Amino acid sequence: MKDFNGKIAVITGAGTGMGRALALQLVSEGCGVAICDVLMDNLEETEKLCRKRAAKGSLFTAHECDVSDENQVTAFCDAVKQQHKTDHINLLFNNAGVGGGGSFLVNERSEWDRVFGIDWFGVYYCTRAFMPLLMASQEGHIINISSVNGFWACLGPMGAHTAYSSAKFAVKGFTEALQVDLRINAPHVKASVVMPGHIGTDIAINSSKVLGVNSVEEMTSEELTRSRERMQRAGVPTEGLNDEELRAMIKQLRDDFRDTAPVTSAQAAAVILDGVRNEQWRILVGEDAQFLDQMVRENPETAYEISFAEKLMEEREKRGAGNVLDALKPREE
């Protein structure tokens, strides 16, 4: 699929970040696009931007949908067929995702289940719903967004990341399994798994909204205590900070995650679309993703030990691979 002009794409989680960037790039190329999100303010902003950018004659629609709810996904699919007057689509970007549910042992089950429901079942339900439309096309492509946490299930040896990582491993395994299934049963449909490293997105901010967690300004003393403990385990110095200073630090860290990332959402979207054009089934986004992938493959038995994190940082200094790995670097007091 070298040209997206005249094609029809569906993008989940397109309210911000890579989903929004994909929508903007595709509509500018004359692709018909249907997006969904669960946060309506974000969705409306993407809609406004896309309508300004859309090539003449390309159809754009926006839909509210919680992808963890199969009934809502089915309704979303029906709306796409109706509003785009189509019996097929060409591109399905399963992009919706949230963070949270770090510990299987400590975090509330409701949070864990919510994260897993969006990050894995959202991919499953959408692929189930839209597969007949992909198969009805002359050429189709499924793009499933996993993560570096789809092959490295933590945020370093002191950072549990169980719900998100479990879901992203499932997304990766599902997409790999589709390679053979599609080749046998629908050879005109391709599938790619995308594993981004540190990309500049609002996932940290949006995740709190989707999970119903208090904003930084509204965090209780108990929530602040838990955040302080997590940050200290990760090597972030919080000693001597009062609650207001801690709030300011948490907000700054979230903003920095978006604003100082080595790869922007637009750059990530361009890499993904190039991967689709080249029929890459495995798309690593960012030098940090490529570097970490290599390290995990070379050292699988020690991948979750402190010695592995130390080796990562040593190799990072040698190679100058910038990124998420900075989260593992010991902080100066």
Same domain for 292 and 163 = yes
| 303, amino acid identity | A
Same domain for 114 and 60 = yes
Distance separating alpha carbons of residues 284 and 274, to the nearest angstrom: 12
Percentage, residues of the chain above pLDDT 90: 69
Task: Look at residue 332 in the predicted model and tell me its pLDDT.
Answer: 32
Residue 126 is assigned to a structural domain of this protein: yes
What is the per-residue DSSP string for 269-320? HHHHHHHHHTT-SEEEESHHHHHHHHHHHH-GGGTTSHHHHHHHHHHHHHHT
The domain in which residue 133 lies consists of: 8-201+263-327
Same domain for 64 and 107 = yes
pLDDT tens column, 269-278: 999 999 999 9
Which pair of structure tokens corresponds to residue 46?
């993407």
Task: Look at residue 233 in the predicted model and tell me its pLDDT.
Answer: 66
Which pair of structure tokens corresponds to residue 257?
């995650």
- Record the pTM: 0.90
User: Which residues have C-beta within 8 Å of that of residue 97, sequence separation ≥ 6?
Assistant: 13, 118, 119, 122, 145, 147, 164, 167, 203
Distance separating alpha carbons of residues 131 and 128, to the nearest angstrom: 6
Residue 3 is assigned to a structural domain of this protein: no
Same domain for 146 and 158 = yes
* Helix-helix angle 17-28:265-277, to 10 degrees: 60
Residue 153 is assigned to a structural domain of this protein: yes
Same domain for 163 and 123 = yes
Residue stretches of the chain with pLDDT short of 50: 324, 327-333
Task: Look at residue 326 in the predicted model and tell me its pLDDT.
Answer: 52
Same domain for 102 and 120 = yes
Active site residues: 164
pLDDT tens column, 245-270: 888 888 887 777 777 788 999 999 99
Residue 1 is assigned to a structural domain of this protein: no
Quote the number of domains for the chain.
2
Distance separating alpha carbons of residues 325 and 303, to the nearest angstrom: 13
Residue 2 is assigned to a structural domain of this protein: no
Same domain for 289 and 255 = no
Same domain for 135 and 104 = yes
Cβ contact 13:68 at 8 Å: no
- With the CA atoms of 10, 271, 45 and 145 taken in that order, what torsion angle do they form, in degrees rounded to the nearest 10? 50
Residue 332 is assigned to a structural domain of this protein: no
3-state secondary structure at position 70: helix
Q: Which of residues 260, 283, 303 is at a domain's end?
A: 260
Task: Look at residue 65 in the predicted model and tell me its pLDDT.
Answer: 98
pLDDT tens column, 42-73: 999 999 999 999 988 889 999 999 999 999 99
Task: Look at residue 121 in the predicted model and tell me its pLDDT.
Answer: 98
Residue 52 is assigned to a structural domain of this protein: yes
Same domain for 184 and 216 = no
Residue 246 is assigned to a structural domain of this protein: yes
Same domain for 227 and 142 = no
Same domain for 15 and 56 = yes
Which pair of structure tokens corresponds to residue 133?
């439309």
- With the CA atoms of 186, 123, 202 and 297 taken in that order, what torsion angle do they form, in degrees rounded to the nearest 10? -80
Q: For the chain, where are the E strands, in sequence order? A: 8-11, 32-37, 60-64, 91-94, 140-145, 189-196, 199-200, 263-264, 282-285
Same domain for 84 and 68 = yes
Task: Look at residue 158 in the predicted model and tell me its pLDDT.
Answer: 82
Q: Which of residues 260, 276, 302 is at a domain's end?
A: 260
Element (H, E) at 44: helix 40-53
Count of CB atoms within 10 A of residue 1's CB?
Answer: 17
Burial class (CB in 10 A: 0-12, 13-18, 19+), 38: buried
